[in-house]
Amino acid sequence: MVDTSFYQNKGPFTLAQIAQITGSELQDPKASNELISNIDTLEKASSEDICFFYDKKAKDKAAAICSKAVVTTQDLASLIPEGVFVLIHSNPKIAFLKLNQAMYAEYEPSPSISPKASIHPSAKIGQNCFIGDFAVVEENVQIGNNCRIEAGTYIGRSCKIGNHCRIGANAYVAYCLMGDDCYIYTGARIGADGFGFDMIEGKHQRVPQVGRVIIGNDVEIGANTCIDRGALDDTVIGDGCRIDNLAQIAHNDKLGRGCIIVSQTGIAGSCTFGDYVVCGGQTGFADHLKIGSGAQIAAQSGVMRDVESGAVLLGSPAVPFKDFMRQVAFLQKNSKK
């Protein structure tokens, strides 16, 4: 049951409403007016709740469902205990997403600019924005409409932020052009200096970093993640990318559209990713690599060479998935002799 001190519950909804919201079919039309107050997990959902059952590997859990209703597939419906109302959907995950979006909402702050924020007079702030306490918005910043700049966030000189963006508390955004619908999480660091030095006369001399971070539309960047600005060229994050917490994206990296970068991944400088690349957690990439579209790199892999489109790699150094499994099996077998 979702905690209404934290979230709005816009329910209850009737099963008929839920069928419509989710695009499901209610098996028993007589149940149309039954009320559902909450979504809950398979295990916790009780007599006023709805749950979602679609994991074929968890068939044994079906018998214990004691929610009022369940959304499931045609194939799995026969497993649902009697007395539980069944809604059929070809993809219950999508139904879950839709009902979740319809039933719950965070408490959004009302559009307002805190008098405790520090906003340079030359900054241009769009309509319906929220700017929290102790946020700093520097000279010549442009912020679009319907943005939410949370408390304590720093937006550096001349940054451009699109519409419908959210910048989380205590984040840092500098040297950045950002599209629409982006969400930068609390503590993310966008646009700090890249790590560039030349050893000259026995001293690591800093190479000035004079590039930018270009962020597309509909991008999410996780908590405490760091994306360095380009050295001379730009660092680029393509439309629709999803970057998890505590990741490191170095200077001049270029990610295509829709890439998924799981937590604690590190990408050294000047790498170029195609579209829809997926990296598991704690993956590392050497610098100047080209990673083809659709490549999937498993967690903790270490990528030292270019990767072809669609490749599925694992290990450090990363090798094709099957090769890695063969290596693991070989080692397990032979080391026991």
Using CB under 8 A, pick the residue from 90, 118, 127, 309 that binds its own copies.
Answer: 118
Q: Are 287 and 269 in contact (CB under 8 A)?
A: yes
Q: What is the DSSP string of 110-173?
A: PSEE-TTSEE-TT-EE-TT-EE-TT-EE-TT-EE-SS-EE-TT-EE-TT-EE-SS-EE-TT-EE
Per CB under 8 A, 60 contacts its own copies: no
Phi, psi of 330 (to 5 degrees): -60, -45
Per CB under 8 A, 59 contacts its own copies: no
Which of these ranges, 15-23, 79-87, 211-219, 305-313, lies near its own copies under the rule CB under 8 A? 211-219
Per CB under 8 A, 73 contacts its own copies: no
321 alpha-carbon distance from chain centroid:
25
Per CB under 8 A, 53 contacts its own copies: no
Per CB under 8 A, 74 contacts its own copies: no
- Cβ closest to its own copies, residue 27 vs residue 113: 113
Residue 222, both tokens: 């996780």
Rounded Cα–Cα distance for residues 69 and 56 (Å)? 18
List binders of its own copies among 229-258 (CB under 8 A): 232-233, 240, 242, 244-246, 248, 250, 258
Between the alpha carbon of residue 262 and those of residues 94, 163, 220, 283, the distances in Å are 22, 26, 12, 8
List binders of its own copies among 142-171 (CB under 8 A): 150-152, 154, 157-158, 168-170
Among 22, 62, 166, residue whose Cα is nearest residue 106:
166
Per CB under 8 A, 133 contacts its own copies: yes
Q: How far is the CB of 31 from its own copies (least distance, A)?
A: 23
Residue 161, both tokens: 């932020």
Residues annotated as catalytic (active site), given as ranges: 251
List binders of its own copies among 4-43 (CB under 8 A): 5-7, 39-41
- Using CB under 8 A as the criterion, what x/- string covers residues 258-277 for binding its own copies? x-x-xxx-x-x---------
3-state secondary structure 242-260: EECCCCEECCCCEECCCCE
Rounded Cα–Cα distance for residues 256 and 240 (Å)? 9
List binders of its own copies among 286-305 (CB under 8 A): 286, 299-300, 302
Q: Are 229 and 251 in contact (CB under 8 A)?
A: yes
Q: How far is the CB of 28 from its own copies (least distance, A)?
A: 25
Using CB under 8 A, pick the residue from 100, 145, 272, 293 that binds its own copies.
Answer: 100
Q: Are 301 and 319 in contact (CB under 8 A)?
A: no
Determine the size of the site formed for its own copies (CB under 8 A): 103
Q: How far is the CB of 78 from its own copies (least distance, A)?
A: 25
List binders of its own copies among 214-233 (CB under 8 A): 218, 220, 222-224, 226, 228, 232-233
